[in-house]
Amino acid sequence: MHELALSESVVAMVRERLGEARVVRVRLQVGCLMAVVPDALRFCFEVCTRDTTLDGATLEIDEIVAHATCRTCGSTFAASSPLAVCGACGSADVRVVGGDQLRIKEVEVV
């Protein structure tokens, strides 16, 4: 349910930066380790933008994967979960970094 709070934050941040400008598109970067469900975020965004300067705006979500390094065999790979398992050797002793983005990249205004 934190998708609702995140959507409210997106609207507040955009309005703080752009004032009354009419916004038609918002592009977010969401790290895969942030426990954010894109569909839930889209649903909440639609609700939160109603009757604001973002009403009807398209929401684009770029999901960003994390980087994993296996402590057993040293191989590196992209991970979409904090519980990633090494594809090369099967070890669960994996260091996962990144994937923690929650950013408003750009917006399109008219």
Partner 1 sequence: MCATCGCGDEHHHEHEHSHDHHHGHDGHDKVVSLEARVLEKNDRIAADNRAWLTVHGVAAYNLMSSPGAGKTTLLERTLRERRGRPVSVIEGDQETERDAERIRAAGARAVQINTGAGCHLDAAMISRALTELTPAARSVLFIENVGNLVCPALFDLGERARVVIASVTEGDDKPLKYPHMFRAADVVVLNKIDLLPYVAFDVARFAAHARRVNPRARIMHTSATRGDGLAEWYAWLEM
The distance from CA 43 to its chain's CA centroid, rounded to whole angstroms, is 14
The distance from CA 9 to its chain's CA centroid, rounded to whole angstroms, is 13
Contact (Cβ atoms closer than 8 angstroms) between residue 71 and residue 91: yes
- Least distance to partner 1, CB of residue 76, Å: 18
Query: With binding defined as CB under 8 A, does residue 53 bind partner 1?
Result: no
Out of 14, 48, 57, 68, the only residue in the binding site for partner 1 (CB under 8 A) is 14
Q: Which residues contact 35 (CB under 8 A, 6 or more apart)?
A: 2
Query: With binding defined as CB under 8 A, does residue 21 bind partner 1?
Result: yes
Contacting positions for partner 1 (CB under 8 A): 1-2, 4-6, 9-10, 12-14, 16-18, 21, 24, 28, 31, 33-35, 81-83, 92-93, 99-100, 102-110
